[in-house]
Chains A and B, each alone.
Chain A
């Protein structure tokens, strides 16, 4: 993608003011995006991203610069400008970049760029038609995207490694209308996979599900407010662990001591039934990749085992701050971002309870079948989530649907309040936004129960 000699020159220039480590990240990415509303393609966009990011460390000081003017002269000049932020003398280094071969764990059969746009449109139409069929569904939006990202990463330790990430995603948003009100249902799926991804799933199932959610919610009453037990279903329900705990385990906030989980390795931070993992190696999973964006091979990282904190997600820079090794967790949206520790495919591992048992054992509470998004303040651990589809549980049975519920709480507390974990682990796909941009991540879990949580709804009392 760039000549090795040029890369070596950039690294040497970057280290000319006393930096002790320099890295070059080269990205060439083809993107396709299609948007369909009401069964008609509204817009299509495709294009090519190409750029280079240069990072320099001196101890725990870090400098980042990027450009998409990739002539040798510009790159060298950008490296020089970046190096000016550091003050010191150049060390004499002899750099000989050696290409490191990595095993490709994510086989791609049909590259999306080899598929005619018409076939992508047909897939979207199929989703639209199924979703629109339901009564009360007034509008359906379908989004399709695919991308092929080639990266090359080189650094002053002699590393040179390449990777290719192919991803595709389809999302369906159905809107139900009734008596001047609207409610929406959403389902998004995707993989680190070629177009064959759509042979492994049936898009119609997801389209049907999104319109069923919208329809259920338009006929639902406002959710009651107050503290109550909350059952969160499997798959995308894992967003709760991702937001409330996962972000606090990223070295980005641990190294600065601004995470509630900082300095707690080996301590009990969750109830016994909780084991949690971040695994960037799951074949063809949405959040997987062969190497992280610093060129380290991704791994399966144990975060929590039977309630005990076992590990953090660590990138190179924060590894220096924490005096620990990288865990292959460094990610970035593109060359426009310096990488940092992020999640890949994160999940709560299977427990022993059955979903039916969890529900049958709940006298009164909220059953959150599908979660919407949420956010967290890593310093305090306070989080909030929207419930997309919720129901009241009474006397061990799922009863009437309720809308507009938000779950709020504190990551430190909630982990200790998970009292039942099911055995039906599944993964959902999302985009996670943080300081190094938006990256594809899987969230996952079996059905879990939190013994008490604050539910924010619109109805004062039970």
Chain B
């Protein structure tokens, strides 16, 4: 039986079992994962996988099930489990299977050339990346991670209301993490590149970025605990923003898990802040024409000049709030139920260069790295306290490196305290929460804990 026939059978049996509307989502991935260590291939992993997700409305409740074995032996299991799961649901939320949007924007998110590039070339680029890093400076002790990866996705969404959508995309990335050593002083730093165009990988540039950052950190010491004006470097600002993504989800707002509740059209950030969710962004890793429920995606400003304009919605949350869905329903994998996530979301560039931003600080800190984002940060309360690295800024100049400090504050307060926005927008590594970016931000002050 081919997939079309299995889906047909699923819908037929589902209907006979009392399921009203049904949907099938099939996801197929092909991945390559390469790592090089000391000139040798340290990891070489190839994979081909697929999974089928089924959901259906049974007595008004949505039941989910999935399988990795896509054949007729799974049909009864999928239907029985979905009904079983629907039966225990007692949430009163109204559920929908979507009949389709009027228009779907065409998005070019698959680059054929990437898959056609030979494995030898991909291995070569990874080896060169390590070699470049090792010869840049004699203090480069080791390259602890040197990775090339590639993923291509194909998804199909078909439902009993006649919707039949297809999406195909691919992406490649390179990542390097280096370890430098000067006497007993060991420091690490990393850099990465994400692209659909293989010719974009510049091993020299990427190696230099990581090595330079690690070397700059040598001799780093803590500083006195105090409140300091802070510049969050673009990548750091983006990672913190990513960790706080849940506060913009209408689902969390409706469940009382976001302090942004009731603040639509209120000022929630400094006037300088405009936060955009753009599913059509060129080079956007999360670009797509339809969301996890088959709704056409759209461009939107979540925060416009400091004012909160909308939450991110799916069909269920939109209906509850009496608004239109924003097309942010997310199906992170065939194993996951529908949630909400941003697509390509970023704080818009300001007009100040990073250099000029540094010049405005007499005594303060530039933060270039934070760790522990999944532990030292609470998206519900907004509180964060993060292990950080960076540099002291003295009289408008970047001075000695700083480590073994934490920066602490509250995200909601910090949004108000952003007093300058630079013009150097950068995106962080993509996650299931979306592809998130920010320029460097100057914060009036944060608590720094050191000596």
Query: CA separation between A60 and B43, bound complex, in Å?
Result: 10
Instruction: A68 to B67: give the CA distance in the assembly, Å.
Output: 10
The closest CB in chain A to the CB of B77 belongs to A48
Contact in complex: B406, A456 (CB < 8 Å)? yes
Residues of chain B within 8 A (CB-CB) of A81 are 46
Cβ–Cβ contact A382 & B84, under 8 A? no
Asked whether, in the complex, the Cβ of A44 is within 8 Å of the Cβ of B89, the reply is yes
Distance in Å: Cβ of A209 to nearest Cβ of chain B: 18
- In the complex, are the beta carbons of B91 and A384 less than 8 A apart? no
Question: Is B325 on the interface with A (CB-CB < 8 A)?
Answer: no
Check A373 against B375 for contact (C-beta < 8 Å). Answer: yes
Question: B376: which A residues are within 8 A, CB to CB?
Answer: 372, 374, 384-386, 406, 456
1/0 per residue B28-47: CB within 8 Å of A?
00000000010011111111
A181 within 8 A of B: yes
Known: A64-B44, A138-B256, A258-B179. A375 touches B371 (CB 8 A): yes
User: Contact mask A100-136 → B, CB, 8 Å, 1/0?
Assistant: 0000000000000000011011000000000000000
Q: In the complex the two chains form, what is the Cα distance from A253 to B145 in whole Å?
A: 11
Contact call A48/B74, Cβ cutoff below 8 A: yes
Contacts of B187 in A (CB 8 A): 380
- Which residues of chain A from 323 to 360 have a CB within 8 Å of any chain B CB? 336, 338
Quick check: A182 and B380 within 8 Å, CB to CB? yes
**Contact status A46-B374, CB under 8 Å:** no
B59 contacts the other chain (Cβ, under 8 Å)? no
Task: Choose from A46, A70, A78, A338 the contact partner of B43 (Cβ within 8 Å).
Answer: A338
Q: Kindly state whether residue B408 has any CB partner on chain A within 8 Å.
A: yes
Query: A180–B256 contact, CB under 8 A?
Result: no
Return chain B residues, CB-CB under 8 Å to A227: 451
Alpha-carbon distance between A403 and B381 when the two chains are bound, in angstroms: 11
* A33-54 interface (Cβ within 8 A of B): 34, 37-38, 40-51
- Verify A385–B378 contact, CB threshold 8 A: no
Q: How far is the CA of A180 from the CA of B412 in the complex (A)?
A: 11
Report the separation of the CA atoms of residues A182 and B252 in the bound assembly, to the nearest whole angstrom: 13
The CA-CA distance from A121 to B89 in the complex, in Å, is 9
Question: A375: which of B77, B188, B372, B451 is its contact (CB, 8 Å)?
Answer: B372
CA distance A385 to B371 in the complex (A): 10
Do A66 and B449 touch (CB < 8 A)? no
Q: Name which residue of chain B comes closest to A253, CB basis.
A: B144
Q: Which residue of A lies closest to B381 (CB)?
A: A182
**Are the C-beta atoms of A46 and B85 separated by less than 8 Å?**
yes
Q: Is the CB of B48 within 8 A of A377?
A: no
Measured CA separation A244–B88 after assembly (Å)? 42
> How many residues of chain A get a CB closer than 8 Å to chain B's CBs?
82
B450 near A42 (CB under 8 angstroms)? no
B447 touches A66 (CB 8 A): no
- Give the contacting residue for A454; candidates B47, B62, B74, B449; CB below 8 A: B449
Q: Are B387 and A408 neighbours in the complex by a CB distance under 8 Å?
A: yes
Check A458 for interface membership: any CB of B closer than 8 A.
yes
Across the interface, do B337 and A43 meet the contact criterion of CB distance under 8 Å?
yes
User: In the assembled complex, how far is the CB of residue A319 from the closest CB belonging to chain B, in whole angstroms?
Assistant: 15
**Of B46, B144, B186, which is in contact with the most chain A CB atoms at under 10 Å from its CB?**
B46
From B41, B67, B378, B403, contact of A48 by CB (8 A):
B67
Shortest A372–chain B CB gap in Å is 5
* B404 in contact (CB, < 8 A): yes
Check if B66 is an interface residue, CB within 8 A of chain A. yes
Q: A117-B85, A403-B383 are in contact. Are A68 and B68 (CB under 8 A)?
A: yes
B177 CB, min distance to chain A CBs, angstroms: 8
**Would you call B12 an interface residue if the criterion is a C-beta within 8 Å of the partner chain's C-beta atoms?**
no
Choose one: A50, A258, A382, A457; the contact of B449 (CB below 8 Å). A457
Whether A406 touches B255, Cβ cut-off 8 Å, given contacts A256-B144, A375-B372, is no
Residue from B256, B372, B404 whose CB has the most chain A CB atoms within 10 Å: B372
Interface residue from A61, A225, A406 paired with B386 (Cβ < 8 Å): A406
**B44 touching A63, Cβ below 8 Å:** yes
Given the contacts A45-B66, A456-B408, A69 and B45 also touching, CB distance less than 8 Å: no
**Of B186, B405, B447, which contacts A458 at CB under 8 A?**
B447
Cβ-based interface call for A92 (8 A)? no
Q: Check A379 against B188 for contact (C-beta < 8 Å).
A: yes
Q: Are B408 and A64 in contact (CB under 8 A)?
A: no
Q: Which of B43, B371, B447 contacts A64 (CB 8 A)?
A: B43
- Find out whether the CB atom of B91 lies under 8 angstroms from the CB atom of A40: yes
Is B380 within 8 A of A175, CB to CB?
Answer: yes
The answer for the CA separation of A1 and B430 in the assembled complex, in Å, is 36
User: Which residues on the A side are within 8 Å of B188 (C-beta)?
Assistant: 377, 379-380
Q: A residues within 8 A CB of B9?
A: none
Q: Chain B residues with Cβ under 8 A from A47's Cβ?
A: 65-68, 81, 335
A82 within 8 A of B: yes
Q: Which of B68, B186, B227, B257 contacts A380 (CB 8 A)?
A: B186
Let me know if B155 is at the binding interface, CB within 8 A.
no
Of the candidates A46, A338, A379, A384, which one forms a contact with B371 in the assembled complex, judged by CB atoms under 8 Å apart? Answer: A384
Name the A residues within 8 Å of B64 (CB-CB). Answer: 43-46
Chain A 369-396 near chain B by CB (<8 Å), digits 1 or 0: 0001111010110111110000000000
Interface positions, chain B 65-96, Cβ under 8 Å from A, are 65-69, 74, 77, 81, 84-92
Between-chain CB contacts (< 8 Å), 30 pairs: A37-B255, A40-B89, A44-B86, A47-B67, A47-B81, A48-B69, A50-B69, A61-B41, A61-B42, A62-B44, A65-B46, A85-B119, A117-B87, A139-B257, A181-B381, A183-B380, A225-B448, A256-B37, A373-B374, A379-B144, A380-B186, A382-B404, A384-B406, A386-B377, A386-B385, A454-B406, A457-B408, A459-B447, A460-B447, A461-B225
Extra contacts besides A45-B335, A406-B387 (5): CB < 8 Å: A46-B65, A74-B48, A373-B374, A374-B372, A386-B372
Closest 4 CB pairs of A and B: A456-B406, A225-B449, A44-B85, A384-B387
B residues adjacent to A (C-beta < 8 A): 37, 40-51, 62-69, 74, 77, 81, 84-92, 119, 142, 144, 179, 186-188, 222, 225-227, 255-257, 259, 335-337, 371-372, 374-378, 380-381, 383, 385-387, 403-409, 447-451
